[in-house]
Amino acid sequence: MSEIIVIAESSSTRTEWSLVEQGKEIEHAFTAGMNPLFHTRREMSHIVRLELPPEFFKHRWSHVYYYGAGCFSPEKSRIVEASLVAQFKSPVTVMSDLLGAARGLLIHEPGLACILGTGSNSCFYDGNAIVKNVRAGGFILGDEGSGASLGRIFVGDCLKGLAPHDLCEAFYDRYELTPDEILDMVYNNPAANRNLRSFSFFLADHMESEYVHNLVYTEFMRFFTRNISQYDYHTYSLSIVGNIAGTYSEVLRQVATDFGATVDKIVHNSMPGLIKYHS
């Protein structure tokens, strides 16, 4: 059997998996997201074993390369590594989702790599490794411009009566939720960031609203002001990955222009670039 590797890229919401042989993808799958901040080793093992198709367990692979949310320290990475080694019986390397984004976006070129998905993050990548990173902070202390942050601001405005009345009514009707149920979903649920992120996509259907456009624009500007301003963005362009970036790409590019930064590319996922990197 020729060398076959597994590449996985995981956010808190979804994990994308690829079996790659000599630079070509031969199997592709999605499972639930995995994050050692929110999931135990056993929970992650269940996700891998029960949600991946059988093709991913036919052999012992040459290597498993895993890029994941929450894998920012050796302690957290070891939790994921132990789970994956037990399932794949293959050598495993666990790295951060931010490094995965940088490699997937830039391959071996230096530049600024950003994530705008459920959470947000940013870094300067020298073509091989991350050499500068403004700490993300998570959806309570940071994650500016992310789906969780957009959802949190909008839902908060609905609860306080600050968003347009017709927009609030449409939101409550669409999700069939009451204000009390929303509070419960946020404060009594370990997946609160994912719940808030799901609410953010409601905004995409109402971009004609001045309120919605201003909310999205302002939150992206907060991402640039609190994060991108700390890098040499005049010299290096930005490459951005994530569903939020892709969904609101027009507003995102406008914010970048107004901020004085240049956006090179916006993509929904980094797997194609990761396959190139590891090939």
The DSSP line for 171-235 is: HHHHHT--HHHHHHHHHS-TTHHHHHHHHHHHHHTTTTSHHHHHHHHHHHHHHHHHTGGGS-TTT
Cα 161–Cα 165–Cα 170 angle in degrees, nearest 5: 115
Amino acid 139: pLDDT = 67
Percent of the chain that is helix, strand, coil (3-state, to 5): 50, 20, 30
- Distance from CA of residue 100 to its chain's centroid? 10
Helix (H/G/I), strand (E/B), else coil: 167: helix
Scored b (16 or more CB within 10 A) or e, 69-98 reads bbbbeeebbebbbebbeebbebebebbbbb
Per-residue tens of pLDDT for the chain, all 279 residues: 579 999 999 987 899 999 999 889 999 999 998 888 888 899 999 999 999 999 999 889 999 999 998 888 889 999 999 999 999 999 999 999 999 999 999 999 999 999 999 889 999 999 999 999 998 867 677 789 999 999 999 999 999 999 999 999 999 999 998 999 888 888 887 677 777 888 888 999 999 999 999 999 999 999 999 999 999 999 999 999 999 999 999 999 999 999 999 999 999 989 999 999 998
* Rg of the chain (C-alpha set): 19
Q: What digits encode the pLDDT tens for the residues 141-189?
A: 778 999 999 999 999 999 999 999 999 999 999 999 899 988 888 888 7
Cα(261)–Cα(254) distance, integer angstroms: 10
Strand partners, 18: 7, 28
CA angle 71, 112, 258 (to 5 degrees): 125
199-213 tens-digit pLDDT: 888 999 999 999 999
Q: Which two tokens stand for residue 21?
A: 């042989």
The DSSP code for 118 is S
Q: What is the dihedral of CA 118, 121, 126, 127, to 10 degrees?
A: 0
**Packing angle between helix 179-187 and helix 192-204, nearest 10 degrees?**
130
Query: Is residue 35 a contact partner of residue 68, using CB atoms and an 8 Å limit?
Result: yes
Would you state the pLDDT for residue 149?
93
Cα separation, 247 vs 24, whole angstroms? 28
- What residues have CB less than 8 Å from 145, skipping those under 6 apart? 116, 120, 219, 220, 222, 223, 244
